[in-house]
Amino acid sequence: MVDGIWRGFASDNYAGIHPEILTAISQINDGHQVAYGDDVYSAKLSGIIKNKFGDNAEVFPVFNGTGANVVTLQAMCKPWEAVVCATSAHINVDEGGAPEKVAGLKLLQVETPDGKLTPELVDKQAWGFGNEHRAQPKVVSITNSTEYGTVYTASEIKALADHAHSLGMYLHLDGARISNAAASLGASLRDFTTDAGVDALSLGGTKNGAMGAEAIVILNPELTPAIKYLRKSGMQLASKMRFISIQLVAMFEGDLWLRNANHANSMAQALYQGIKDIPGVEVAPPQANALFPILPGESIEPLQNVAKFYVWDHTINQARWMCSWDTSIDDVSSFITAVKSELAN
């Protein structure tokens, strides 16, 4: 560590801000713009999002992913309705109970082997319609890429959307790492969202190089009117919104979103290739930018001293190694060397 600078594999949230994002923020920092989203850069973002997701898409920039998810799900549910999600979903595990505390939502959890729901798994919780004693299932929420690093294909999402709609439910997509999913699939953002039947999504920017910029993207027009008011009452309406919007403009107007995601995914592949044959390591090929190796328990702390990372499941000594837009091949090579050395001991 030199002057607080160090490298690791703990989270793509640990990475810095992409220089192109910093430049974009700096370039609009002169003069005045109308507050609360009535600025020219937010208007430009609206056009970019329509280009990416279709003419019906409406974008609402927010501060963070938790806010994006909670406000969106609140718009999709009446007070007596509920959200079906994987037990491992970020909204269930890592948002401090915000969907329950802030939006008053019941989360109907489903155990999954890989973080992915299927129509059959949804049916484990999508029942009791009309039963006043049961919170009424209204939304199926999925994450792409998932908390297990797995990726839904467009056809898998379409099957979920069709099933949800047949039950009178909506489909929500948590897209904190949507760019990594698109890069993995070799697909456009629209392919597995709008065209697959997703009703609303959270559009991630922060994990992919932004300073702190996320957005709600509404694809089903009947959900749009509520967002305006819920974003404000949910404390997610930025006064100087131009500085959030311009980050997403810089990311999605060109191919920065895809370049960053492709790089992170490729670094995860390089890390996998380097450690997959090391005796004592059990690991599956990454589908996006995360690896979940199982390691000898005594090796974890020494390796964390080399490069910070999280233990994913302490009961089986499973770690999570996350690559970022700024992960370098030197980072990967050095860590592979450290893993080989530690496990040799």
Task: Name the H helices within 167-296.
Answer: 178-185, 224-233, 242-252, 256-275
Local confidence pLDDT in tens for the 345 residues of the chain = 456 788 999 999 999 999 999 999 999 999 999 999 999 999 999 999 999 999 999 999 999 999 999 999 999 999 999 999 999 999 999 999 999 999 999 999 999 999 999 999 999 999 999 999 999 999 999 999 999 999 999 999 999 999 999 999 999 999 999 999 999 999 999 999 999 999 999 999 999 999 999 999 999 999 999 999 999 999 999 999 999 999 999 999 999 999 999 999 999 999 999 999 999 999 999 999 999 999 999 999 999 999 999 999 999 999 999 999 999 999 999 999 999 999 998
- Distance of alpha carbon 341 from alpha carbon 345, whole angstroms: 7
155: in domain: yes
How many domains is the chain partitioned into structurally?
A: 2
Q: Please indicate, yes or no, whether residues 88 and 58 belong to a single structural domain of this protein.
A: yes
Reduced to 3 states (helix: H, G, I; strand: E, B; else coil), residue 157 is: helix
Q: Please indicate, yes or no, whether residues 191 and 285 belong to a single structural domain of this protein.
A: no
39: in domain: yes
6: in domain: no
Give the per-residue pLDDT at 5. Answer: 80
Q: Please indicate, yes or no, whether residues 77 and 49 belong to a single structural domain of this protein.
A: yes
16: in domain: no
19: in domain: no
CATH of the domain at 331: 3.90.1150.10
Q: Which of 281, 276, 274, 273 lies closest to 297, judged by CA?
A: 281
Give the per-residue pLDDT at 345. Answer: 84
What are φ and ψ of residue 88, in 5° steps?
Answer: -80, -5
Q: Please indicate, yes or no, whether residues 134 and 228 belong to a single structural domain of this protein.
A: yes
Give the per-residue pLDDT at 217. Answer: 98
Q: Please indicate, yes or no, whether residues 88 and 160 belong to a single structural domain of this protein.
A: yes
CATH of the domain at 198: 3.40.640.10
Reduced to 3 states (helix: H, G, I; strand: E, B; else coil), residue 259 is: helix
Q: Please indicate, yes or no, whether residues 159 and 83 belong to a single structural domain of this protein.
A: yes
- Distance of alpha carbon 250 from alpha carbon 183, whole angstroms: 18
pTM as predicted? 0.96
Last residue of a domain, one of 252, 284, 319: 252
Q: Please indicate, yes or no, whether residues 83 and 188 belong to a single structural domain of this protein.
A: yes
Instruction: Evaluate whether 265 touches 286 at the Cβ level (below 8 Å).
Output: yes
Which residues neighbour 272 within 8 Å (Cβ) at sequence distance 6 or greater?
Answer: 283, 285, 286, 291
Task: Name the H helices within 3-128.
Answer: 19-27, 40-53, 65-76, 90-93, 98-101, 119-122
Dihedral of the alpha carbons of 192, 195, 196, 201, in degrees to the nearest 10: 60
Q: Please indicate, yes or no, whether residues 190 and 274 belong to a single structural domain of this protein.
A: no
Q: Please indicate, yes or no, whether residues 301 and 338 belong to a single structural domain of this protein.
A: yes
Q: Please indicate, yes or no, whether residues 223 and 146 belong to a single structural domain of this protein.
A: yes
Residue-range definition of the domain harbouring residue 69: 32-252
Give the per-residue pLDDT at 270. Answer: 98
2: in domain: no
- Distance of alpha carbon 259 from alpha carbon 223, whole angstroms: 32
22: in domain: no
Last residue of a domain, one of 252, 271, 295: 252
Q: What distances in angstroms separate CA 7 from CA 17, 211, 237, 326, one per listed residue? A: 14, 18, 33, 10
Q: Please indicate, yes or no, whether residues 86 and 223 belong to a single structural domain of this protein.
A: yes
* CA-based torsion, 57, 58, 59, 65: positive or negative: negative
4: in domain: no
Q: Please indicate, yes or no, whether residues 66 and 168 belong to a single structural domain of this protein.
A: yes
